[in-house]
A and B are shown apart, each in its own frame.
Chain A
Amino acid sequence: MNSIMNSPVAKFALYATILALGILLPMWFPNYTGQMTVMWMMVVFALTWDILGGQMGYNSLGNIFFFGAGMYATGMVQVGMFYDLAEYNSAAGGGIFNFTFSQYFTGMAAGFVVAAIVCVILAVILGRLVFGLRGPYFAIGTLAIATVVGELVSTWELVGGGQGMSMPNYPGDLGEAKFVFYSMMFVLAICTFAFLRWLYGSRFGLAINAIRDDEEKAEGMGIHTLRYKTVAWSIAAFFLGIAGAIYGNFNNFFEPIDVAFPTTTFGIFMVLMVLLGGKGTLWGPVIGAILFHVIKEVTWTYLLNLQWVALGLLIVVTVVYFQEGIMGWIMRKKPTWFGIRVEGEKQRLGDMR
């Protein structure tokens, strides 16, 4: 089988190149470290959205909820471990209250763990509510969760209400902080990709694909559909929660509507990036996220005042004319590269991926 994607040498070269670029780029272009941090976050967004949206056929518009939940969870832990949360937030936090080096990092470690666990628990509970909904109703239901929670948190004074919350300041050089957060986000993106690559190769991948293709049939065959759907969402929530926790610290500040639960920006971007790259594929979300982020930043730089018009145009063109995405398009043109067999070809046993 002369399949490019299946050749081990090509695969190794690809992974090595990406890892090397991930490490070298922030050294070559230190001024863009912040941008590249956000880019890897976009990759996590797209990869986690695709678990449900691409592989399982459930278009969630509320995944961004877990991003915010992780952010708030880590914020509360990182501050609450050492100071009174209400007092900290009424004084508008950071700068006035100091965190030592060890306080900062132990708080962060604990905060990330709590953020991940809280998001998984929330996904399990909310899954019971929303997985009764199908198609557009699921999209609206999940969107409602993210929007409503954003509004509710705005009235929660303990975590700063609509004013938001300042995070502890990094106990050291700010240039160093950039690289620390970049590394965290890069490692998270790599871990998310590696985990999903393994997951889609297991029975789990087959089961959620079956749910996507025909959920009623899957039920009729005895597949534990609710169990698979809940776990799929929990996995997305887990990685999104950590992404939120890192971003909260990276941004040093967050508030409910625009940073923690931004349904109209990040919440929509994650859908668009997956569509652009090709949903239901492993590489599509990665390609879509990177391309989208670059396009977005270029239009922000060179088409200022028109950036939303350009972005809107990209959305319309993708959704109307290019739903299959980049990977979908390549797969249609060159199916044999991906091990998809077409009629008339001689085939052999056991070559699954």
Chain B
Amino acid sequence: MSSATTAGESIIEVNGITKTFGGVVANKNISLNVRKGGITGLIGPNGSGKTTLFNSIVGYHPIDGGSIKFSGEEISKFRVQEIARLGLMRTFQQTRIYGKMNCVENMLISVPHRKLGFWDMFASRDKETLERADRMLEFVGLYEKRWLLAGDLSFGQQKLLEFAMALMNEPTVLMLDEPTAGINPTLINGLIDRLKRANEEFGITLFVIEHNMRVIMNLAEHIYCLAHGEMLAEGKPEEIQNDQRVIDAYLGAH
């Protein structure tokens, strides 16, 4: 199903990966490319294997077959931390933050660990990092709440914090698992705007799972659609929107 996609260099190249859980085939022979510097979308009905695919890419579980390349390097045997330190970061669908620490502390420990040596474990809090944490919290609109315990934030605010933590890590690629799920509809436009700015201003490649069609059509330049663990369609947003197979899959005809 793989084909020459959009123009430009690919930063993630997934080639024919398969993942099964017992008898359930969650991903079957999936291939896709994420263009460097762009925003790529991944859609599909519930249970179609989107999150499994994300988990496979970031090394959360071993895959049964196929290859995953990041910046040309084969990473399918790497473990989660190693992949994260290469600059390939993901956020979780069930938002995960450090609940008993305040927002600033959450940010301070999210510095890019690939740059840290053994003795950096004992580094004291420097002004520069603190200021960067403040800037990022300001960027996502949490500056006023920065001294609150992360666990006391609302779900939507935790999502924003998780996004800010990911930015703090200076990733090359950021994989977002449903960034707008659970966020107040009036805040969604602001979030889309921030995702775009992260892409344009910080040069972070985005790879986004999203259920909200309006959001993904607005955001992504290229979209992949999964159904029943297989790649169903790919193309530009308008092509996907008008693809009869995608419409059928979402309406349950598949």
Task: Give chain A's interface residues, CB within 8 Å of chain B.
Answer: 199, 201-204, 206-207, 209-210, 212-214, 216-225, 227-228, 231, 280, 340-343, 345, 347, 349-350, 352
Contact = CB atoms under 8 A, between A and B. Distances in A.
Contacts of B127: 350
A203 B80 contact: no
Interface stretch (B39-47, B97-105, B201-209): B97-105
Of the four ranges (under 10, 10 to 19, 20 to 34, 35 or more), the interface on chain B belongs to 35 or more
A216 B148 contact: no
Contacts of B100: 209, 212-213, 280
Interface in B45-82: 58, 80-81
B96 A214 contact: yes
B147 A231 contact: no
A225 B81 CA distance: 8
Given A214-B96, A340-B149, A347-B146, A207 B121 contact: yes
B70 to A, nearest CB: 14
B105 A209 contact: yes
B98 A347 contact: no
B123 interface: yes
Contacts of B165: 221
B105 A206 contact: yes
A207 B152 contact: no
A213 B84 contact: no
Nearest to B107: A206
Nearest to B103: A341
B89 interface: yes
B121 A228 contact: yes
A202 B134 CA distance: 18
Contacts of A217: 92, 96-98
A231 B122 CA distance: 11
Nearest to B146: A347
A202 B105 CA distance: 11
> Taking chain A's interface residues, is the majority helix, strand, or loop, or is none over half, making it mixed?
helix
A231 B80 CA distance: 20
Nearest to A223: B113
A201 B84 contact: no
Given A203-B108, A214-B98, A217-B98, A222 B169 contact: yes
Contact of B121 (A203, A212, A214): A203
Contacts of B148: 341-343
A220 B120 contact: no
Contacts of B101: 206, 209-210, 213
Contacts, number: 107
Contact of B113 (A209, A221, A345): A221
A349 B110 CA distance: 19
A340 B148 CA distance: 7
Given A203-B108, A204-B121, A224 B96 contact: no
A220 B95 CA distance: 12
Nearest to B129: A203
Interface string B189-225: 0000000000000000000000000000000000000
Contacts of A212: 100
A219 B58 CA distance: 11
A228 B110 CA distance: 15
A179 B26 CA distance: 69
Nearest to A202: B122
Given A207-B121, A221-B165, 18 more contacts: A203-B123, A203-B125, A209-B100, A210-B101, A210-B109, A213-B97, A213-B98, A213-B100, A214-B98, A214-B99, A220-B58, A220-B80, A222-B85, A228-B121, A340-B102, A343-B145, A345-B147, A352-B125
B97 A207 contact: no
B135 to A, nearest CB: 12
A261 to B, nearest CB: 30
B19 interface: no
B104 to A, nearest CB: 8
